[in-house]
Amino acid sequence: VRGNSALYTRSYQDLFEKLDTNNDGKVDVAELRAGLKAMGLFRQGAAQKIVSSGDQNNDGSLDFKEFSKYLKEHEKKLRLTFKSLDRNNDGRIDASEIQQSLAELGMDVSRENALKILQSMDIDGTMMVDWNEWREHFLFCPAHNLEEIIRYWKHSTVLDIGDSLAIPDEFTEEEKSTSVWWKQLASGAVAGAVSRTGTAPLDRMKVFMQVHSSKTNRISLVGGFKQMILEGGLTSLWRGNGINVLKIAPETAIKFMAYEQKIETHKRFMAGSLAGATAQTAIYPMEVLKTRLTLGKTGQYLGMFDCAKKILRKEGLKAFYKGYIPNLVGIIPYAGIDLAVYETLKNTWLSHHAKDSANPGVLVLVACGTMSSTCGQLASYPLALVRTRMQARASLDASDQPSMSSLMKKIVAKDGFFGLYRGILPNFMKVIPAVSISYVVYEYMKTSLGISK
């Protein structure tokens, strides 16, 4: 390091001048935050923490002396962490060293996840991280010991794309005590509510096509919307949206609580799947109500309670779990394919375009998310269609209650293979606006609640 100290001092000077946009010889929180954003480093509360740690004369900003002193101190700590991870002392960290070090701290990390961690820091594509890459990656990250760095690795965002909420990462003690966790959950819930309301007419059209469209009764998008407006006016396009929005709060809360219970004993993916299944089981009757309200004719139900009462009186309690099995089975291909495609697309983009940074940027991530979600939906859509048909079935014909497999066979026999994909057009038209609205509202909410990165 000593040989490079002049270079480091000079680069501190360059960095300082770049960040000090108003040229007053000081870098305040706003300038640092803007500078970090420009470098592609979106890290929650980083600017505030750096200024607070380095500000010795308590004037709320850093002069060059304070700035370089903070970075020198921070670098020393980073060097120690780097050395503790570089177990064979070859000056580079590889995936097995990350795995080994985390295992010693009681964290079982798969090879795949260790490679993901490595990739986020690997600038030159060697799948090894040297000291310069490590320094570059963590120079402006307030995390300096291994525990804080692991916490930084674990963090991700919670986004609702209209059908399933992502499981939030576990919240740290610090975040729990500063109530960041509920703000993050609240932001996710509000984003989901706005996104679902914005795309509700397409959602209602999808359910209509899934249940009523066939070779003999073709429903087009325009024709379907005309029919709905004629039957119940413009507001009928939002029928069933109220309960779809109401579902978000219990779904998020149950997933989060179930996830927290299982995180200690199970691996993360298992914990996520079980939490998802727990939430699905608890709120499934709301899914059935949503389908019935969406398909309901004007005046058929006075509201969700009236709908629940009528179903209970006519069909009994088990009607609320119609279609439950295809719903649960559908989670597996959706989650697996979504995750695999997302990682593949992101890594392909990084290997071709990432020159200066390992952060692909918001647009690329949203595009990867949209495409992976699309592939996940393609795989699980027939199960979603069967689920909706089973949820609606009792209201159509009480004597005809087929099982999941016989219903699938029936649809294929009557309408061919593509009969399993009825309503997929409005479903796909929903994805991009849902992701975009969700993302914008989520970011806006986080800024409003003061937890913006």
| pLDDT tens, position by position, 42-87 | 566 678 888 888 888 888 888 988 888 888 888 888 888 888 888 8
The tokens for 113 are 């996840």
Query: Is the pLDDT at 382 greater than 90, yes or no?
Result: yes
Select from 1.50.40.10, 3.30.160.270, 3.40.50.10860, 3.40.50.300 the CATH code of 173-448.
1.50.40.10
Query: Is the pLDDT at 265 greater than 50, yes or no?
Result: no
User: From CA 84, how far away is CA 89, in angstroms rounded?
Assistant: 9
Q: Radius of gyration of the chain from Cα atoms? A: 26
User: From CA 274, how far away is CA 374, in angstroms rounded?
Assistant: 23
Per DSSP, 160 falls in state B
Please give the helix or strand (H or E) that residue 347 lies within, else none. helix 324-353
- Asked if 183 and 171 touch (Cβ cutoff 8 Å), the reply is no
Q: For residue 227, how far is the Cα from the chain centroid?
A: 35
Residue ranges covered by each domain of the chain: 2-94+128-154, 173-448
Which segment of 40-49, 222-231, 245-254, 259-268 scores lowest on mean pLDDT? Answer: 259-268
- Asked if 291 and 324 touch (Cβ cutoff 8 Å), the reply is no
- Asked if 140 and 132 touch (Cβ cutoff 8 Å), the reply is no
Alpha-carbon dihedral 142, 144, 147, 150, rounded to 10 degrees: 70
Average pLDDT over residues 93-116: 79
User: Tell me: the pLDDT tens digits for 131-141?
Assistant: 888 888 888 77
Per DSSP, 86 falls in state -
Query: Is the pLDDT at 38 greater than 80, yes or no?
Result: no
CATH number of 2-94+128-154: 1.10.238.10
Q: Residue 135: beta bridge partners?
A: none
pLDDT-derived band at 7 (thresholds 50, 70, 90) equals very low
Q: Residue 27: beta bridge partners?
A: 62
Helices in 39-144 by DSSP H: which ranges?
46-54, 64-85, 95-104, 111-121, 131-138
Buried b / exposed e over 393-417, threshold 16 CB at 10 Å, is bbbeeeeeeeebeebbeebeeebee
Q: Residue 63: beta bridge partners?
A: 26
